[in-house]
Structure 1
Amino acid sequence: MSDTYQEWASRVPGAVLWTSSPDPGGPGRPVLPDGCMDLIWSEGRLFVAGPDTLAHHTGVDRGRRFAGIRFAPGTAPAYLGVPAHELRDRRVELTDLWRGVDARRLTERIDAAVDPAAELEAAAVRIAGAAPPPDPLLAHVVAALDAGRSVRETAEAAGLNARALHRRSLAAFGYGPKTLARVLRLQRALALARAGVPFAETAARAGFTDQAHLARDVRDLTGLTLTRLV
C-alpha cells in the first residue's frame, strides 16, 4: 500500500485543498519547500505548517488522516495574523496562535464533520473573508522571482530598496527573497523533471547554471537526489 494523496483548487483564492492518508508501513512522502504555509487538520489536531527551508518528514504521524489547505505564498500571514518568519521550519498548534477556545471549537467542528476537508475549507473561507486582504505587491514579488528575475530587478519593479524587500519578505514568506527565489526555482525544476524533461534541459529552463548546479540545490534543499524525487 502507498500514500493516498489528493489535491484540488480551493475556494480561497490561490489556495489548494488537499487530503492524505499515509501508509504506516510505507516510505513516506517528504514535504518539500514551496514558499507556502498550510493550515492542517489531523484527527483532533489543528496546526499551522510554517514555510520550510528544508524537506520535512512526517514519520511520527504516519497512519493518521490529514486534510490541509495550502495558502499561496505571502497570503497566510494576513489570514492567520502571524508573521511567517515566526513559523519558519515549524509546526505550531493553532491554540498557540489564537485564543484557545476558538481553536478548540474549530478543531471539534472539523473532527465531527462527515467531510473534514470540506469543513476545513469552509473555515478557511471564513477566516480569509474576515481578514485584511494580502498585500497585492507580494503577488508581484512572487511572480517576478518565479519568472527568474533577480532580487535587484524584483525590488526595483516593486518600488522598494533591497532592505525593504527583505523585511517585507521575512514577514510574508518566512525568509528573504533570495531564499524564496531558490525555493521557487526548485519547484520549477521538479515540475519540468516530473513532466519528463531531461535533467540537463530542466536545469537550463528552470534557471540553473548547469545540471550539476541543479543536483546540488536539490540535494541541499531536500536531502534527496532529483532522480529519487522524480
Structure 2
Amino acid sequence: MYEERASRLSGAVVWVNRPDGGGAGRVLPDGCMDLLWHEGRLLVAGPDTRAYVTDGAQGVWVGLRFYPGTAPAVLGVPAYELLDRRVELSDLWPAAVVRRLRARVGAADDPVAALEQIALERAVPPDRSLRRLVEALDAGHPVAATADELGLGARQLHRRSRAAFGYGPKTLARVLRMQRALSLARGGVPLAETAVRAGYADQPHLSREVRELAGLPVTGLLG
C-alpha cells in the first residue's frame, strides 16, 4: 500500500510504501529525486531517464520526493552524478554523519517525520529560475521560448539543467509531458484526446514516447 502527503519542505512530498508481496514494481521518470529509508538504510534515488524496475524488496519504504531541481542543493551533489542510479547516502556524505542519521531515523516513532526533518535542516532557498523552468515546461512551453523567457542561452540552460535535473531541458520536457499524459489518461480522458492535450502530435506519438520512457505501453501502465 502506498500513501503520500505534502511535505513541509517546499514542493516536496513524503510517502510510505508497504509492498504487498506482488513482486517487482516500476518507478517512472518524473523529474524528481528521492531520499529513502529502508530496513535501516538511507539511500538516494537519482533522476531517471527510463523506468526503474524495483527488486520487490519487502519491508516498509519511507521516502521524501524533492521538487524537481531542488535535491542537489540539499545533497551537495550535481544531479547528473546520480543519473539512473540508487546509492547509499554514505557515498555522498561522511560515514559518521550518516551513521548518526540512520540511528536517528531508526529510533524515531515516526520515520517519515524524521526523514523529512533531515531534509529540512539542510534545505536552502529555492532557485526561482529553476522553478520557473519546471513550471514552463510542465505547462508545455517550448524549450527555446522558455530559455528566452529566463534570459538564458541554450548552453547555459543545458548546463544548469544537467546540474539540477541530471539531464537537459528537452529530456525534462519529455518526462513532464509523459506525466501530464498519464495523469489525464488515469482521469478517464480518452487516449486520442490525452495526446492532444498533453502536447503530442497524435496518439501514436504518445504511445512511442511512453513506451520509450516507461518500458510499457500506455494501456499496460493504466491497467
- The verdict on a shared fold, with TM-score over 0.5 as the criterion, is yes
Residues in 1 aligned to 2:99 and 2:66: alpha-carbon distance in whole angstroms: 21
Shift of residue 27, structure 1, vs aligned partner:
4.2
Q: Which residue of 1 aligns with 2:117?
A: 122
1:15 aligns with 2:12: yes
Equivalent residue letter for 1:22: P
Aligned residue number for residue 163 of structure 1: 155
Unaligned runs of 5+ in 2: none
Query: Counterpart of 1:89 in 2: which secondary structure?
Result: coil
- 3-state DSSP of counterpart to 1:74: coil
Aligned to 2:69: 74
From 180, 193, 205, the equivalent of 2:197 is 205
One of 39, 46, 65 as aligned partner of 1:43: 39
Aligned to 1:178: 170
Match of 1:6 in 2: 3
For 2:54, the aligned partner's letter is T
**C-alpha distance in structure 2 between counterparts of 1:46 and 1:99, whole Å:** 13
Q: Which residue of 2 aligns with 1:89?
A: 84
**Gaps in structure 1 of 5+ consecutive residues:** none
Following TM superposition, the consecutive aligned residue runs of length 4 or more in structure 1 with deviations greater than 2 angstroms are none
Letter in 1 for 2:137: L
For 1:41, the aligned partner's letter is W
Deviations 1:87-135 (CA, angstroms, capped at 9, x unpaired): 010011110101111111101111121221111112221121xxx3232
| Matches of 1:189 and 1:27, distance apart in 2 | 26
Counterparts of 1:86 and 1:133, CA distance in 2: 22
CA contact (8 A) 1:35 1:183 kept: yes
How large is the Cα RMSD of the aligned pairs? 1.0
8 Å Cα contact 1:22-1:28 kept in structure 2: no
User: Match of 1:141, as an amino acid?
Assistant: L
SS of aligned partner of 1:169: helix
Classify the secondary structure of the residue corresponding to 1:224.
coil
Matches of 1:175 and 1:193, distance apart in 2: 26
Percent pairwise identity: 62
Question: Which of 33, 54, 57 is equivalent to 1:58?
Answer: 54
Counterpart of 2:79, as a letter, is A
Paired residues, what number? 222
Amino acid at match of 1:96: D
Verify the 8 A CA contact 1:78 1:133 in the aligned structure 2.
Answer: no
Aligned to 1:153: 145
